Amino acid sequence: MEKIVQPLMQWFETHQRELPWRKDKEPYHVWVSEIMLQQTRIEAVKKYYTRFIQEIPDIESLSLISEDKLLKLWEGLGYYSRAKNLQKAARTIMQKYHGEFPRSYEEIMKLSGIGEYTAGAVASICFREKVTAVDGNVLRVMARVLGSRENVLLPQTKKEFTKQLAKILPQQAGIFNEAIMELGETVCLPNRSPLCGECPIAKYCVSCRDGLTSEIPVRIKSLKRKKEEKTVLILYCDGKIAIEKRLSEGLLSGMYQFPNRDGFDTPEQLKEKLHPLSISFLGKAKHTFTHIDWYMQGYLVTVREQCGDFLWVSPQELTEQYALPTAFQPFWKMCHSLPDSFIK
């Protein structure tokens, strides 16, 4: 393990990608990027990050922005609790740390939405603290280098790999942490053959030597996923669409959605309940959350009056002002594609 440190850091010096959050070591920039990169690939994050920083340039502005505007900026990234925790942490920084990002791993860990990896990344990259930062990319590199068949999804595996990394961590921990993450992102690839011919530490890698890269890392999911069926309704009346705000707790908390019902309703059932002017089947969609799969079918329903406790908004208002969860966006796109679409 000790032999991988220098080759890896030298490789990173010449092969690191130009990323917007690498232009400086500003803690706010690194923090926002790391939160965005949770569950999301780098290429997808770039445009969201740039727009986010333009609209919310610092911790103070993040602490003050309205939740609706914040979630609209986050729209498309998913896992919206990340954005809410960002704001909660920003308010803590303003109140407890006088607007200055805390400079130690232990203090950073106290902020909402920040775990060991993010705290380690910010502390090592921005403040040169000698701490590890172990994400999925690092776990994959470690498993392959060591030839480990331990399940990388288990907390004890991550804990053991973290201990081993801590033993070889150089003084320039931030550079090393970025280097091993970069290797996992661009060379030691997931779900397909890694680019061993381009890897600076291939000669120290057990999996490369023994031809085990397709078998390692081992990922065994023990969680049984819950399945839910839903009928999604695009209620339309006089140029307006009905939306509603979800509860302040639970899945997609505080976000706007199209009205929806548990189970699959037939057109006949919807006609009996809604007495619409017209009803059209839009199609089906599936959305995967961490522990739940939603199987959905959608209908465009033109109603006689703006009924119910809904917020009725124009298509332009919906697009520009309200954050629509990714789960519901396929049905909005289906409305766009209708031959006589009401969306201009």
Q: Which of 149, 138, 217 is nearest to 182 (CA)?
A: 138
Residues 200 and 16 sit within 8 Å (Cβ to Cβ): no
Residues 249 and 258 sit within 8 Å (Cβ to Cβ): no
Question: Catalytic residue among 34, 75, 129, 185, which?
Answer: 34
Residue in this structure with the two tokens 């030839």, named with its chain if needed:
147
Give the C-alpha separation, 159 to 319, whole Å.
44
Query: Quick check: is 67 catalytic?
Result: no
Distances (CA, A) of 198 to 13, 220, 254: 15, 28, 46
Residue in this structure with the two tokens 């727009």, named with its chain if needed:
51
- Beta carbons within 8 Å of 52's beta carbon, 6+ residues apart: 32, 36, 73, 74
Which residues are catalytic, by number? 34
